[in-house]
Amino acid sequence: MKQKETLLNIRLNGDKIELSDILIDEMGDNHVSTSVDTPLREDAFAKTDDEKIAEIELHFKAIMETLGLDLNDDSLRGTPKRVAKMYVQEIFSGLNPANKPNVALFENKYKYNEMLVEKNISFYSNCEHHFVPIIGKAHLAYISNGKVIGLSKLNRLVQFYAKRPQVQERLTMQIGKDLQKVLGTDDVAIVIDAKHLCVASRGVEDDTSSTITAFYGGKFKEEKTKNEFLKYLEIKTEF
């Protein structure tokens, strides 16, 4: 017998359904992630951004035409190009490492050795299973081991990893591990609370639920430190 890739066929009302199609649908609805690293081909950056935009424009035009839309209409005519530019230059720009923000570290001259928390960092991402938005807030904390990072860089780091097809668990891990690497310390914590439109606008169509994921490293694995961090998240900071 060959590998488990062998397809089992089901006949229903005379139509053939491949089991692989069923498994693919279930994987998307069950929010499955395959790795911590974003799956990229080796030739992911062989084409320039302009070349990618031109190709995506053609493909998206074909999708719209397949759906039956009239691209001669003034409102729709420019949509394929707009979507292509949006994909490459905006919502999926985090796929390209060249767009990663430069992170400068500074000496901790204040000798501030307590927890630093940056919370309510808004981000927009896209579910890699259905390519619809994930909208949420990230809360980050770290304890300096001699270096500190500019506050805005924490926001930019979140946005960089959010701007790619994502699974929330992977997004949380990518931010956490990179922040540990940048700061040179394991003492990093992240909590992400997000709403998934693949849940809200399709499938189960539940627009009230949200998903919470967390990453705790170093001292944040200790209950006292973890609880201190979570207490800070309860403080109202609206001005």
Topology classification of domain 103-234: GTP Cyclohydrolase I, domain 2 (3.30.1130)
What's the mean pLDDT when you consider all of the chain?
A: 89
Give me the catalytic one of 128, 139, 159, 166.
128
Give me the catalytic one of 129, 139, 159, 174.
129
3-state DSSP percent of the chain in helix, strand and coil, to 5: 40, 25, 35
Concerning whether 168 is annotated as a catalytic residue, the answer is: yes
152 vs 158: CA distance, rounded Å? 10
Domain spans, the chain: 48-91, 103-234
**For 21-61, how does the pLDDT look when each residue is reduced to its tens digit (9 = 90+)?**
555 565 556 655 567 899 999 999 999 999 999 999 999 99
Concerning whether 139 is annotated as a catalytic residue, the answer is: no
Concerning whether 166 is annotated as a catalytic residue, the answer is: no
Topology classification of domain 48-91: GTP Cyclohydrolase I; Chain A, domain 1 (1.10.286)
What is the pLDDT at residue 177? 97
Low-confidence ranges of the chain (pLDDT < 50): 1-13, 17
pTM score, whole prediction: 0.85
Concerning whether 196 is annotated as a catalytic residue, the answer is: yes
What is the pLDDT at residue 6? 38
What is the pLDDT at residue 22? 52
